[in-house]
Amino acid sequence: MSGVYVSYPFCAQKCTYCNFASGVFPRELEVRYCDALVREIGAHSWQWTPDTVYLGGGTPSSLAPDALRSMLDAIPGRPWAEATIEAAPGGITPDLARNWVEAGLTRVSLGVQSFVETEIRRTGRKHSAQTVFDELTVLRDAGIRSVNIDLIAGLSAQTSESWQESLEWVERLGPEHVSVYMLEVDEDSRLGKEMLLGGVRYGAMETPSDEATADFYETAVERLRARGIERYEISNFARPGFESLHNLKYWRLEPYVGFGADAHSFDGRVRHQNAEEIADYLAGITPVEDVPHLEDERFFVGLRLAEGIRPTPQEWLRFDQPIHRFLDSGLLETNGVDLRLTDRGVLLSNEVFQEFLET
Ligand code: SF4
């Protein structure tokens, strides 16, 4: 089965750590973008019926109900096995949530990042812990049974105490799915530029060290596990049966089609990427085509998953040296058939992936 990704790169504010091609744009551009998106989806010739849909961004939760409906109506396969919308806390009303459910959405991914006031403000976001609490109730009342909460480890001003506070909120709210990202400050983000300049805006002088961020991540792994929310991918944790069906397709190299600015598509052999900038997308710039080396990709993308990968006899031979080095150093483990990252290997996964890419 295949998935559909729809990109909606419009946000109420530009978060200080964000380096995506998303942000605050004029309303008029948003209207033109929605029209173009519906046209692109409508013109697609479907070779299969999708079973998952993912509206990402940006902030698709700010889409007007009519525009959202037009987009989803153009996608075949409803009711989908899973249909997710990314949402910024603040502004989720009972009417909006009811509209989402009626339009076929089944899952909401909340971009919370932190439940601690100082940390939230420094990201540029405006919600509070109470907002998340109230809006989760609204979503549950509307019939949303699958909720993800995004957290970021490594935000400015974060301490082990404040991180515990965010994790306590997660435990109190009981989402089915949690994503924990370790912040790597990008120098193109506002925060990154400020850090390069040696400035203090956005709390640039108070970002935790890499070691502290890794500690926060490990604490999250333990606390979530104790609540039955297990890591199934490096950054993703779920109760059994609530793993993101759509995102699993990326890690398992299954096909998906993407619509909108910067959206990627993969048909099982060739990958396409739509123009990154909204203006280029609206101007109809042709998507860029790439034929990936699937054997390599399967290897290091699959290792992101807790289930690991089952190398072919050829792969055991080809990667013999790095596999044995990482087994000896405790970054990989095997039962003789499957290969997986250990807990320590997860923290050093970039190093492991890089090695396999160069082999
Ligand atoms: S982090 Fe998300 S909400 Fe914030 S600017 Fe980037 S895309 Fe928008």
pLDDT tier at 82, thresholds 50, 70, 90: very high
Cα separation of 198 and 243, whole Å? 40
Residue 111 vs residues 90, 259, 272: alpha-carbon distances, Å:
10, 21, 27
- Give 56 Cα–ligand 1 centroid separation in angstroms: 10
Residue 129: CB within 6 Å of ligand 1? no
pLDDT value at 301 more than 80: yes
**Ligand 1 close to Cβ of residue 22 (< 6 A):** yes
Structure confidence by residue, pLDDT tens digits, 41-79: 999 999 999 999 999 999 999 999 999 999 999 999 999
Tell me how far the alpha carbon of residue 15 lies from the centroid of ligand 1, in angstroms. Answer: 5
Q: Nearest CA to 217 among 155, 166, 152?
A: 152
Q: How confident is the model at residue 297 (pLDDT cuts 50, 70, 90)?
A: confident
Ligand 1 within 6 A of 15 CB?
A: yes
Cα-to-centroid distance, 55 and ligand 1 (Å) = 14
Q: 355 alpha carbon to ligand 1 midpoint, in Å?
A: 31
In DSSP terms, 350 is beta-bridged to none
57 Cα: distance to centroid of ligand 1 (angstroms): 7
Nearest residue (CA) to ligand 1, atom 2 = 58
How many residues are present in the chain?
A: 359
Site to substitute for ligand 1 among 8, 14, 16, 191, most atoms within 8 A of C-beta: 14
Averaged pLDDT for residues 230-235: 98
> What's the pLDDT tens digit per position in 175-226?
999 999 999 999 999 999 999 999 999 999 999 999 999 999 999 999 999 9
What count of Cα atoms within 13 Å lies in the side-chain half-sphere of residue 72? 28
Q: 59 CB under 6 A from ligand 1? A: yes
pLDDT number for residue 359: 72
Q: What is the pLDDT at residue 357? A: 78
What DSSP assignment string belongs to 293-342? -HHHHHHHHHTTBTT-B---HHHHHHTHHHHHHHHHTTSEEESSS-EEE-
Query: Would the CB of 89 count as within 6 Å of ligand 1?
Result: no
pTM for this structure? 0.96
152 lines ligand 1 (CB under 6 A): no
Closest CA to 154 of 350, 295, 347: 347
Q: What is the CA radius of gyration of the chain?
A: 21
Per-residue pLDDT at 166:
98
Ligand 1 centroid to residue 175 C-alpha, Å: 21
- Name the amino acid, one letter, at 4: V
b/e sequence 297-323, b meaning 16+ C-beta within 10 Å: ebbbbbbbbbebbebeeebeebbeebb
**Residue at token pair 């096995």:** 81
Q: How far is the CA of 12 from the centre of ligand 1 (A)?
A: 8
User: Across residues 308-333, what is the average pLDDT?
Assistant: 94
14 C-beta closer than 6 A to ligand 1: yes
* pLDDT at position 348: 93
Atom of ligand 1 nearest to the CA of 59: 3
Residue 88 CA: which ligand 1 atom is closest? 3
What is the residue with the minimal CA distance to atom 7 of ligand 1? 58
Atom 6, ligand 1: which residue's CA is nearest? 18
Angle in degrees, CA 73, 21, 147, rounded to 5: 50
CA 154–ligand 1 middle distance (angstroms): 16
Residue 11 Cβ contacting ligand 1 at under 6 Å: yes
Pocket test for ligand 1, best of 10, 11, 126, 190 (most atoms within 8 A of CB): 11
Average pLDDT over residues 87-94: 96
Q: Which two tokens stand for residue 329?
A: 């150093």
Using the 8-state DSSP alphabet, how is residue 205 labeled?
A: G
